[in-house]
Chains A and B, each alone.
Chain A
Amino acid sequence: MLEVSNLHVKYGNIEALHGISFHVDEGEMVALLGANGAGKSTTLMSIMRLPPPEGPQVTKGEIRFNGVDLLPVAAHILIVKYGVGLVPEGRHIFGNLTVFENLKLATYARKDKDQIEKDYERVFSLFPRLADRRWQRGDLLSGGEQQMLAIGRAFMSGVRFVLLDEPSMGLSPLLMLELFRVLKELNESGTTILVVEQNARIALKYAHRAYVLEAGKIVLEGAAEALADNPEIQKAYLG
């Protein structure tokens, strides 16, 4: 589904990714692991085509989605046309809109009214807390609720392939578990997922496969179970 090959990316004059290659197949849940500054978020931002000055600059390599070159595609087109969405690090929900308005805004470009109604129900059944708080302003939600809203919002935008940037950040272990359970459920019902995580333990528990990034290069890859048993990983990331 997603094919990244020999990707070089720089911020200004500093190269952050030195030619990484990986792929995500349809229906998979793949984790991208690594320490702070390894280039995980940069990878996602590059796929999402966020324009400068916010976004990094791809200098070499290819990003293909079902064979289509994504590099010339603008971020908003990625969702509308290809169903590729991002849940950014730090959630970036709209705090001045209500929970419901946040979800509704995500349907901006969608025309399939009946399916939208079903999707609202789906989001509210996955995250009952959001249903209780649907008329509250986004900035009044707790961190966990904001993360749920960010995922619900991506779902409402009609994603078939979703990139998640550090979804567990700032969540309690219990909420983290709940979150990954929901991600697994979404994955099993057909959404392909690429999740960037610092918490390797939980990511490896739920993902099918994983890649490990270190200083802008992929140093390890494999099935999640195999990686979880890998002594190097255990030493570096699982403590």
Chain B
Amino acid sequence: MSFEIFFQNLLNALQWGSFYALIALGYTMVYGVLLLINFAHGDIFMVGAYIGFFFATLLMGKYAGFSTGLPPAVIFGLTVLVTMVLTAGVGVAIERIAYRPLRRKGASRLYVVITALMCGLILENGNLALLGASRRNFPELLPNTVHNIAGVTFSNVKILVIVTTILVFILLETIVRKTKLGMAMRAISYDRMAVPLMGIPVDTVIVFTFILGSSMAALAGVLFATAYPVLEPYMGALVGWKAFIAAVLGGIGEIRGAFVGGFLLGFVEIFVAALFPSTLRDLIAFSILLVFLSIKPTGIFGIARATKI
């Protein structure tokens, strides 16, 4: 593999790793707080992409008689922000409607996980019923410029995705390390029973976690749609599964684990595809990860959890 091709693949791996990392975050944070694998999360990513699509096309004046005349880059910025807020609302709504009642009744975690799976299916099929099976093309809001440095070509979108993900990592680490809500998130993952004794409303912390996770999935959705502008109702399924695998690889419950796991998965996939026929990509990539997990079942940063009595 020549130097240029290596770097080309490296950038691709970083971009895909970024998507996985941003989605894996939601899995890992919700697991940290609730010990729940939120299988609806991949579909939250899909919902984010769709909300972004509708909001962007609305601002661009695709619907009757309404046009803002804003420049596309501004529309992009607004779309990202509004999509994050609205998608966070969807995530919180699912928590309220589906998970909280079960929690109140002290339902076993298995039932909550099954409920999460059903919520994901409802989102997918609800989208299908509402909008039909036709694919939608995400509008090109950022002029796709391709740069070339020493034989390595890269687009501005790719750089945007990678830089955004790194900034998100720094932001989230700061929130979780420095703010009281972040501390409360960590505290809940260690000992849920003692948290209300500190005067902390557990539900507030849970809602905050869903807001963070869903808005990051929405960010991933809009960035993904900007890089690969075809939307369909099942787009969140496979990417969601892979992001979940990334979260487990990194050590579920750990924020840095989600990032490292996401990038690791990106690297393995891209470099396997670069060296082997691309039809074998997932087969080889996941075989490698299977071996990795059998050696270190807790993931990279995970610690074995002793069941507390």
Which residues of A are at the interface with B, using a C-beta cutoff of 8 A?
48, 50-54, 74-76, 79-80, 85-86, 88, 92-97, 101, 104-110, 153-154, 157-158
Q: Are B196 and A76 in contact, with the CB atoms below 8 A?
A: yes
Alpha-carbon distance between A153 and B104 when the two chains are bound, in angstroms: 27
Q: In the complex, are the beta carbons of B187 and A94 less than 8 A apart?
A: yes
- Contact A106 B186, beta carbon cutoff 8 Å: no
Query: Is there an interface contact between A108 and B106, defined as CB atoms closer than 8 Å?
Result: no
How far, in Å, is A23 (CB) from chain B's closest CB? 23
Interface residue? B201 (CB, 8 A): yes
Is B171 part of the binding interface, using a Cβ–Cβ cutoff of 8 Å?
no
**Chain B contact patch, size range:** 10 to 19
Query: B200 touching A50 by the CB < 8 A rule?
Result: no
Residues 150-182 of chain B: 1 if any A CB is under 8 Å from the residue's CB, otherwise 0? 000000000000000000000000000000100
Chain B residue nearest to A139 (CB atoms) is B190
CB of B173 to closest CB in A, whole Å: 15
Q: Chain B residues near A154 (CB, 8 Å)? A: 197
**A53 lies within 8 A of B106 (CB):** yes
Chain B residues within 8 Å of A79, by CB: 197-199
Instruction: Name the CB-closest residue of B to A55.
Output: B193
CB <8 Å contact, A94 and B191:
yes
Please state if A86 and B186 are interface contacts (CB–CB under 8 Å): no
**Is A92's CB under 8 angstroms from B201's CB?**
no
B187 proximity list for chain A (CB < 8 A): 94, 96-97, 105
Given the known inter-chain contacts A92-B194, A93-B194, A94-B191, please indicate yes or no for A104 contacting B183, CB distance below 8 A: yes
Extra contacts, 20 of them, besides A92-B197, A105-B187 (Cβ < 8 A), are A48-B197, A52-B106, A54-B193, A74-B201, A75-B197, A76-B196, A76-B198, A80-B199, A93-B194, A95-B191, A96-B190, A104-B183, A106-B198, A106-B199, A107-B180, A108-B184, A108-B198, A108-B199, A109-B199, A153-B198
Q: B202 an interface residue at 8 Å Cβ cutoff?
A: yes
User: What is the CB-to-nearest-CB distance from B294 to chain A, in angstroms, rounded to a whole number?
Assistant: 26
Q: Are B196 and A94 in contact (CB under 8 A)?
A: no
**Complex-state Cα separation, A97 to B187, whole angstroms:** 7
Q: Do A76 and B193 form a contact, CB below 8 Å, given A94-B187, A97-B183, A105-B180?
A: no
Q: Which 9 A-B pairs have the closest CB atoms?
A: A53-B106, A92-B194, A75-B196, A79-B199, A109-B199, A76-B196, A94-B187, A96-B190, A80-B199
A157 to B180 Cα, complex, angstroms: 13
Pair A86/B197 contact, Cβ less than 8 Å = yes
Within 8 Å CB of A51, what residues of B? 104
Residues in B whose Cβ lies below 8 Å from that of A107: 180
Q: B57 on the interface (CB 8 Å rule)?
A: no
Q: Is the CB of B180 within 8 A of A104?
A: yes
Q: Are B193 and A88 in contact (CB under 8 A)?
A: yes
> In the complex the two chains form, what is the Cα distance from A86 to B193 in whole Å?
11
**Which among B189, B199, B200 has the highest number of chain A CB atoms within 10 Å?**
B199
Q: Is A50 within 8 A of B183, CB to CB?
A: no
Please state if A97 and B180 are interface contacts (CB–CB under 8 Å): no
B residues in contact with A153, CB < 8 Å: 198
Residues of the A chain whose Cβ atoms lie less than 8 Å from the Cβ of B194: 88, 92-94
- Residues in B with CB closer than 8 Å to A94 are 186-187, 190-191, 194
Q: Are A74 and B184 in contact (CB under 8 A)?
A: no
Q: Which residue of B lies closest to A75 (CB)?
A: B196
> Would B186 and A76 count as touching, CB distance under 8 A?
no
Kindly report which residue of chain A lies nearest to residue B191, judged by CB atoms. A92
A50 touches B196 (CB 8 A): yes
Q: How long is the Cα–Cα vector from A146 to B136 in the complex, in angstroms? A: 57
Distance of A95 Cα from B196 Cα, bound (Å): 16
Partner pick for B200 among A53, A92, A95, A105, CB 8 A cutoff: A105
CB atoms of A157 and B199 under 8 A apart: yes
Q: Give the residues in chain B near A80, CB-CB below 8 Å.
A: 199
Instruction: List, in ascending order, chain B residues with CB within 8 A of A75's CB.
Output: 196-197
Q: How far is the CB of B121 from chain A (nearest CB, A)?
A: 28
In whole angstroms, how far apart are the Cα atoms of A104 and B115 in the complex?
36
CB atoms of A101 and B183 under 8 A apart = yes
By a CB distance below 8 angstroms, the chain A residues around B193 are 50, 54, 88, 92
Query: Within 8 Å CB of B191, what residues of A?
Result: 92-95
Q: Could you tell me if A97 and B190 are in contact, using CB atoms closer than 8 angstroms?
A: yes
Residues of B contacting A158 in the complex (Cβ-Cβ under 8 angstroms): 199
Residue of A nearest to B204 (CB): A76
- Known contacts A52-B106, A105-B184; is A76 also within 8 Å of B190 by CB? no
Is the beta-carbon distance between A108 and B180 smaller than 8 angstroms?
Answer: yes
CB distance from A158 to the nearest CB of B (A): 8
Which residues of B lie under 8 Å from residue A109 when comparing CB positions?
199-200
A171 to nearest B CB, angstroms?
Answer: 19
- Would you call A97 and B186 a contact (CB within 8 A)? yes
Report how far A97 CA is from B202 CA in the complex, Å. 17
In the bound complex, what is the Cα–Cα distance between A97 and B106 (angstroms)? 27
Contact residues in A for B189 (Cβ distance below 8 Å): 96
